[in-house]
Chain A
Amino acid sequence: MATQHSRSAARIMMAPAVILLLGWMLVPLMMTLYFSFKKYLPLRGGDLGWVGFENYARFVSSSSFWPAVSATLMIVVGVLLITSILGVLLAILLDQPMWGQGIVRILVIAPFFVMPTVSALVWKNMFMDPVNGLLAHLWKFFGADPVAWLTEVPMGSIIMIVSWQWLPFATLILLTAIQSLDSEQLEASEMDGAPVLARFWYIVLPHLSRALTVVILIQTIFLLSIFAEIFVTTQGAFGTKTLSYLIFQRVLESQNVGLGSAGGVYAIILANIVALFLMRIVGKNLDT
Chain B
Amino acid sequence: MAIKSALRAATALCLISAVSVQADTITIATVNNGDMIRMQGLTDDFTSKTGHTVEWVTLEENVLRQRVTTDITTKGGQFDIMTIGMYETPIWAANGWLVALDDLSADYDAGDILPAMAGGLSYDGTMFAAPFYGESSMIMYRTDLMEAAGLEMPTAPTWDFIKDAAVAMTDKDAGVYGICLRGKAGWGENMAFLTATSNAFGARWFDENWTPQFDSDAWSETLNFYIDLMNEAGPPGASNNGFNENLSLFQQGKCGMWIDATVAASFVTNPNDSTVFDKVGFALAPNTGKGKNSNWLWAWALGIPAGTDNEGAAKEFIEWATSKDYIELVAANEGWANVPPGARQSLYDNPEYQKVPFAQMTLDSILSADPNNPTVDPVPYVGVQFAAIPEFAGIASEVGQEFSAALAGQQTAAEALEKAQALTVDAMEAAGY
Contacts and interface: CB of A to CB of B under 8 A. Distances in A.
Contacts of A234: 185, 240
Nearest to A150: B240
Given A63-B422, A249-B394, A252-B69, A151 B240 contact: yes
Given A150-B240, A255-B69, 13 more contacts: A41-B431, A43-B73, A43-B390, A44-B431, A131-B235, A132-B252, A148-B240, A150-B237, A151-B404, A234-B240, A237-B400, A237-B405, A253-B394
Contacts of B430: 58, 256, 259
Interface in B381-421: 390-391, 393-395, 397-398, 400-401, 404-405, 408, 410, 419
Contacts of A231: 62
B390 A44 contact: yes
Interface of B: 62, 66, 69-70, 73-74, 91, 95, 175, 184-187, 235-237, 239-240, 245, 248-249, 252, 254, 390-391, 393-395, 397-398, 400-401, 404-405, 408, 410, 419, 422-423, 426-427, 430-431
What range describes how many residues of A lie at the interface?
35 or more
Interface in A34-74: 41-45, 58, 62-64
Nearest to B405: A238
A131 B252 CA distance: 10
Interface string A213-257: 000000000000000000100111111010000000110111110
B422 A152 contact: no
A131 B62 contact: no
Interface SS of A by simple majority: loop
23 contacts: A41-B431, A43-B91, A44-B390, A130-B237, A131-B235, A131-B249, A146-B236, A148-B236, A148-B239, A150-B240, A151-B237, A231-B62, A235-B185, A237-B240, A237-B400, A237-B401, A238-B401, A249-B394, A249-B397, A252-B69, A255-B73, A255-B390, A259-B430
A149 B390 CA distance: 34
A43 to B, nearest CB: 3
Most interface-central of A45, A58, A252 (chain B CB within 10 A)? A252
B408 A238 contact: yes
Nearest to B190: A237
Contact of B397 (A42, A44, A148, A253): A253
Given A148-B237, A235-B186, A253-B397, A45 B95 contact: yes
A221 B391 CA distance: 33
Given A43-B91, A131-B237, A253-B393, A239 B405 contact: yes
A85 to B, nearest CB: 28
B184 to A, nearest CB: 8
Contacts of A58: 426, 430
Nearest to A133: B237
Rank and list the top 3 A-B pairs by shortest CB-CB distance, nearest first.
A254-B394, A148-B237, A43-B390
Contact of B239 (A42, A62, A129, A151): A151
B237 A42 contact: no
A269 to B, nearest CB: 22
A250 B397 CA distance: 11
Contacts of A42: 73-74
A44 B408 CA distance: 35
A237 B398 CA distance: 8
Given A43-B390, A131-B254, A150-B237, A254 B427 contact: yes
A63 B419 CA distance: 8
A141 to B, nearest CB: 14
A212 to B, nearest CB: 35
A288 B142 CA distance: 70
A41 B426 contact: no
A79 B308 CA distance: 46
Contact of A62 (B69, B74, B426, B431): B426
A234 B400 CA distance: 12
A129 B236 CA distance: 9
A254 B391 contact: yes
Nearest to A238: B405
Most interface-central of A151, A152, A259 (chain B CB within 10 A)? A151
B264 to A, nearest CB: 18
Contact of B95 (A43, A146, A149, A252): A43
Most interface-central of A58, A149, A231, A237 (chain B CB within 10 A)? A237
Nearest to B237: A148
Most interface-central of B69, B70, B398, B422 (chain A CB within 10 A)? B398
Contacts of B410: 238-239
A43 B249 CA distance: 37
A22 B153 CA distance: 67
Given A63-B422, A131-B235, A238 B404 contact: yes
Most interface-central of B70, B186, B235, B391 (chain A CB within 10 A)? B391
A259 to B, nearest CB: 7
A237 B73 contact: no
A239 B185 CA distance: 12
Nearest to A45: B95
Contacts of A252: 66, 69-70
Contacts of A129: 237, 245
Contacts of B240: 148, 150-151, 234, 237
